Structure 1
Amino acid sequence: MSDLVPHRRSRLGTVVPVVAALPGLTRVAATASVNAAEWGVRTSLRTGWRVVRSVRDPAEAAELVREVTAAAAAVGELAHSVASGVPVGRALVVAGESLADAFEQPPPPPPLSPRSLRERGADLLERSRDVWSNEQGHPAYVRILEELAPDEGRILLLLLQGGPQPSVDVRTGGAVRMGNSHLIAPGLSMIGMRSGVRYADQVPAYLNNLFRLGLVWFSKEALKDPQEYQVLEAQPDVLGAVHSVKFARVVRRSIHLTPFGEGFCRTCLVSEVEAATEVFPEHADPGEAEAAVPPTV
């Protein structure tokens, strides 16, 4: 009997602190129960309304699934914490913070449905009827600027300020054009030298790109002033092409800005004051003569 006394005392020593802690645990449990009941009522009402909406709204359905998943994860974390010996009050606080973070996270924006071409066309016509619109420049100017090399900007500025530029083709046949004529060197010009491009060997590619973008065009007609060709025809590349065959002839052509290219240069490459006050050289309209395809090398 006496042997049981120490054992009973040890058990009482363990039980007393637990009994003393009951009021605090009771308060925590009561508060958690009230809060859980209140949250459950509000959540059930809100969830029921959202379930109805989710039937018609895919974005609402996705958000509802996300919140349910977050709540289930928080409950699982709470159970694991209590089982691991974490105090109930602390475990409830951590679970509440996890739920708050999950529910306060802004939902992802709904996916944008692609607009049809007809809808975009209707918007375009609506803007055309807006007399208060102050849009400046063509909408394509932004895209074109992203597709231009710096050297191509120099070429455009030369054409705007310096006017149409001479170019020549070197062909076989001589002055009397005996037999069939073959192209030896197309589209030779001094545009690279006069514009100060960094990569002179890329000028043919630059001109091809400017033609592709609708900024320049290649006329089969010569410029009115024949002196424009004297320096060009004395350049080493032109003389080398002429002397590469027994009979050769030089065909004079010209390179111009298109009306669209002029508008682009005035809007994007010079200041507003210069665009409004400066008188730039005129370029031929590609409708007035046959526009040639860009020269190839």
Structure 2
Amino acid sequence: MTDEKGLERADHEQSPALDAIPGLIRIAASSWVRTAEWSVVAGLRTGRRMLKAATDPHTAVELAQGAAAASGIVADIAKAVSSGESVPQAIQQVAASLGGTSDRRAVELHNGRDRDVESTDLRSSLREQGAKLLERSRDVWSNDTGHPAYARILTELAPDEGRILMLLLRSGPQPMVDVRTGGAVGMVSSTLIAPGLNMIGPRAGTRYVDQVPSYLNNLFRLGLVWFSKEQLKDPLDYQVVEAQPDVLAAMHSVRSAKLVRRSIHLTPFGEDFCRTCLLEEEVPPEDLPVHQAPNDLE
């Protein structure tokens, strides 16, 4: 009797677990169906993207970037877990970093849009200025004198450079020589030893004679002078330059040297600048040396 009651009690205790088995089976089956359904849908989507990527380079780039980003996320989570973090904490850290990256990308996108707007505004402003320029060109009653760039050029000139310009305006083109290797070897391949030696600094009365090469570079940059291979007509001007100590030292620095005579000229723009901005009194054009474009410009 006792054994029968024990068996009934055991059967009663096991019956809830046995009753729960069909429910667990249903849950497992439902989960399997959902997983299979998601796998099929994801596979179809991935397949479609792969097919599209095969024909669309842009889609292929996006797909590759997505795969790289996913692998990077997994690697970050694995690195955090290996350093002692729990899986939830690792996921939170990676999610926070992704949020920061998204914010940075949003800021960069916003800045890029701002730059596009500024570029569009700049183009519109330039067009407006161009329209005003053409409108002024049609004004037959305008009495504007001097180039608009003259005011800016005056702010970019050193006092010594003003002296050089006045020397060129009043005295005309100036001689300049290059010292090169000569002899039989120089006829085949000549090496430049000392370029652009001249007497412009002393003749113009510049304060810093050693800065004359820099002065000439700046004047050339501003379009006021040019350097020519053309030789001046009067050879006496070159004799004075060739007798200077720096020229003689350069010639004696090699076994065989030769001199190449060149010249420095005012440009028409530079001549007009000097007449407009530097001459204190009106000087008739015939009283000043003629400045012509050299036959051979560099």
Counterpart of 2:206? 197
How far did residue 277 of structure 1 move? 5.6
Match of 1:247 among 243, 256, 260: 256
Bigger helix fraction:
2
How far did residue 290 of structure 1 move? 2.1
- CA deviation map 1:52-108 (0-9, x unaligned): xxxxxxxxxxxxxxxxxxxxxxxxxxxxxxxxxxxxxxxxxxxxxxxxxxxxxxxxx
Counterpart of 2:292? 284
Counterpart of 2:235? 226
Sequence identity, in percent? 72
Against the structure 1 CA distance between its residues 175 and 290, is the aligned structure 2 distance closer, same or farther, given a 3 Å change threshold? farther
Counterpart residue identity of residue 162, structure 1 = S
* Residue 259 (str. 1) matches residue 268 (str. 2): yes
Counterpart of 1:135? 144
Q: Where do 1:1-297 residues align within 5 Å?
A: 116-174=125-183, 177-274=186-283, 276=284, 279-286=287-294, 288-291=295-298
How far did residue 132 of structure 1 move? 1.0
- CA deviation map 1:13-48 (0-9, x unaligned): xxxxxxxxxxxxxxxxxxxxxxxxxxxxxxxxxxxx
How far did residue 283 of structure 1 move? 2.0
Structure 2 unaligned spans of 5+: 1-120
How far did residue 181 of structure 1 move? 0.5
Counterpart residue identity of residue 199, structure 2 = M
Question: Matches of 2:193 and 2:185 in 1, distance apart?
Answer: 17
How far did residue 179 of structure 1 move? 3.6
How far did residue 262 of structure 1 move? 0.4
Question: Matches of 2:281 and 2:134 in 1, distance apart?
Answer: 28
Question: Matches of 2:213 and 2:184 in 1, distance apart?
Answer: 27
How far did residue 272 of structure 1 move? 4.3
SS in structure 2 at match of 1:116:
helix
Question: Matches of 1:284 and 1:177 in 2, distance apart?
Answer: 32
Counterpart of 1:101? none
State the aligned residue count: 177
- Backbone CA RMSD of aligned residues: 1.7
Question: Matches of 2:275 and 2:152 in 1, distance apart?
Answer: 16
Against the structure 1 CA distance between its residues 214 and 189, is the aligned structure 2 distance closer, same or farther, given a 3 Å change threshold? same
SS in structure 2 at match of 1:245:
coil
SS in structure 2 at match of 1:138:
coil
- CA deviation map 1:175-230 (0-9, x unaligned): 88344110000000000000000000000000000000000000011101111101
Confirm or deny: 8 A CA contact 1:155 1:192 kept in the other structure.
yes
Counterpart residue identity of residue 161, structure 1 = R
Question: Matches of 2:138 and 2:230 in 1, distance apart?
Answer: 41
- CA deviation map 1:268-292 (0-9, x unaligned): 0103422x46521112315x3222x
- CA deviation map 1:132-174 (0-9, x unaligned): 1111100000000000000000000000000000000000023
Show structure 1 runs of 4+ deviating over 6 A. none
Counterpart residue identity of residue 289, structure 1 = D
